[in-house]
Amino acid sequence: MIDSVKNPLPSRVEIVVMGGGTAGCSAALHLAQAGRKVVLFEQRLCGGMASGQNYGGVRQQGRLEVELPLSFRSRELWDKMEKIVGNDCGFRRTGHLKLARTPEQIASLEEWAVMARRHGLTVTMVTGNELRTQHPYLSEEACGASFCPTDGSANPRVTAPQWARAAEKAGADVREYCPVRALEREGGGFRVTLADGRSTCCDVLVNTAGAWGAGLAAQLGESYPEGTLHPNMNVSEPMAPVISANFGVCGGDIYFRQTGRGNIIFGGGRGVGDRDRLWSRPLAEVNLRQARAMLRLVPGLAGINLIRSWSGIDGMMPDESPVFGASPTVPGLFHAFGFSGHGFQLGPGAGAVLCDLVIRGETPTDISGLLPKRFL
Ligand SMILES: Cc1cc2nc3c(=O)[nH]c(=O)nc-3n(C[C@H](O)[C@H](O)[C@H](O)COP(=O)(O)OP(=O)(O)OC[C@H]3O[C@@H](n4cnc5c(N)ncnc54)[C@H](O)[C@@H]3O)c2cc1C
């Protein structure tokens, strides 16, 4: 998949996908399976940015209502991962518990559960006593929770690369280390020029460039207010199995899970980064804050050693939902970027919906609240 300037580009292709995160790799796979000629350009390695750097939460719980249909579409694909890409990508259905520390937070969880149930999602409320019976490692700080049994977690390091490999097997031309530098409209389609000067023309352009999506859209005259987000992450040495679910808390200052090999992964708070330099890092003071929050909730973890902390770069929209759907101003251009810190779960479904839109011009998945026109 790693491309070099020695590999000529076809002078014309049907579809170019820009960006090999989970969304782009899934789009390439779905389009190739539908018999379309697709080239995917990734500036580094597929899954090398947010899609490979994230916490691995595969959760529907806590999402904005406008995102739920896309989240459900994606959730169906997580169950079929092994069949679709030949690897389960580490997906485990552990359930997701969102903890409350105050009665007001319990009320807000109940409100969200009522809304989610209207969409058909199973969410149950758990009292503080039930919580400590089921999860005896939790302290008294948590006074209740809501539980979504169909949520879980996966291994972000393997997910997008597996989708990229499956896309290649299905016939997509996946080219890594190929940054797209320039986009122009040409004839009825587009000319796509890479940083090394090679170029190709295409009829359809799919923009799945994550935090860099708005930069590419701007070259075609569309302006989106995409900022960046750098979640701060930590992981411990492996230890005996303790934590059986994926946990979040109201307010988001801490979230945690234990991997199959025993490492405790936790996040909360922000690191720093610079999208122009493709650079991000965690902050020591945030690491300490997270560790204290973690120990207040799970005191038995005192003394474990942390082995790594990191951050990443995700595109952040002002309303915290992605720019998703056909461009309202440029025919043949489709966007799915700016997933605002929670697009890992959405990635597989995002590619499926993009494929619907490119091929049929419509999708059964309700994306009406995510459409690009809300910013233009
Ligand atoms: C630390 C962290 C923790 C997170 N935790 C979770 C979580 O637990 N659950 C969850 O659902 N979400 C989580 N997220 C968010 C999630 O990772 C992202 O929303 C999601 O991965 C975005 O996927 P994407 O495909 O849109 O973007 P990306 O994975 O960023 O992929 C976009 C790709 O486009 C490429 N690209 C950019 N510009 C160009 C160009 N000009 N030419 C070619 N290629 C280009 C980039 O190199 C990149 O690989 C987290 C994010 C971070 C950073």
CATH number at residue 212: 3.50.50.60
Please indicate, yes or no, whether residues 161 and 284 belong to a single structural domain of this protein. Answer: no
State the Cα–Cα distance between residues 284 and 74, nearest whole angstrom. Answer: 35
Asked whether residue 167 falls in the same domain as residue 41, the answer is yes
For residues 303 and 241, state if they share a domain. yes
Count of structural domains, the chain = 2
Does the structure show a pLDDT above 90 at 74?
yes
CATH assignment at residue 290 = 3.30.9.10
The closest residue, in CA terms, to atom 25 on ligand 1 is 21
Same domain membership, residue 239 and residue 145: yes
Maximum Cα–Cα distance across the chain: 66
The reported pTM is 0.97
107 and 242 within one domain: yes
Q: Ligand 1 pocket check: which of 16, 49, 59, 277 to mutate, most ligand atoms within 8 Å of Cβ?
A: 49
Q: Are residues 162 and 256 in the same domain?
A: no
Does residue 129 share a domain with residue 187?
Answer: no
120 and 135 assigned to the same domain:
yes
Residue of minimum CA distance from atom 35 in ligand 1: 19
User: What average pLDDT does the segment 186-194 reach?
Assistant: 96
Q: Same domain for 240 and 295? A: yes
Q: What is the DSSP string of 189-251?
A: EEEEEETTS-EEEEEEEEE--GGGHHHHHHHTT-----EEE-EEEEEEEE-SS---SEEEETT
Ligand 1 binding site (Cβ under 6 Å of any ligand atom):
18-24, 41-44, 48-51, 53-57, 179-180, 208-212, 216, 231, 233, 311-312, 314, 337, 339, 341-345, 347
What integer pLDDT is reported at residue 3 of this predicted model? 66
Q: Give the tens place of pLDDT for each residue, 280-324.
A: 999 999 999 999 999 999 999 999 999 999 999 999 999 999 999
User: Mean pLDDT across the stretch 241-267?
Assistant: 96
- Report pLDDT digits (tens) over 111-141: 999 999 999 999 999 999 999 999 999 999 9
Q: Is residue 163 domain-shared with residue 49, that is, in the same domain?
A: yes
Please give the number of the atom of ligand 1 that sits closest to the Cα of 343.
19
Q: How high is the pLDDT of residue 40?
A: 98
The answer as to whether 254 is a domain residue is yes
Ligand 1: which atom is nearest the Cα of residue 336? 26
**Residue 205: per-residue pLDDT:** 98
Q: Are 170 and 307 contained in the same domain?
A: no
**Which residue's CA is the closest to the ligand 1 atom numbered 8?**
57
| 91 belongs to a structural domain | no
pLDDT at site 368: 98
- 350 with 368, same domain? yes
The whole-number pLDDT of residue 247 equals 98
In a domain, 72, yes or no: no
Band of pLDDT at residue 91, cut at 50, 70 and 90: very high
Residue 365 lies in a domain: yes
Residue 48 covered by a domain: yes
Mean per-residue pLDDT for 192-196? 97
Question: 12 pairs with which residues across the strands?
Answer: 201
In the chain the first and final C-alpha atoms are separated, in Å, by: 36
Tell me if residue 314 falls in helix, strand or coil.
strand
Beta bridge partners of 147: 97, 124
Q: Say if residue 7's pLDDT is above 90.
A: no
Closest CA to 87 of 160, 189, 180: 160
Computed on alpha carbons and rounded to an integer, the radius of gyration of the chain in Å comes to 21
Residue 188 counted as domain residue: yes
What domain range is 327 assigned to? Answer: 12-55+157-225+318-375
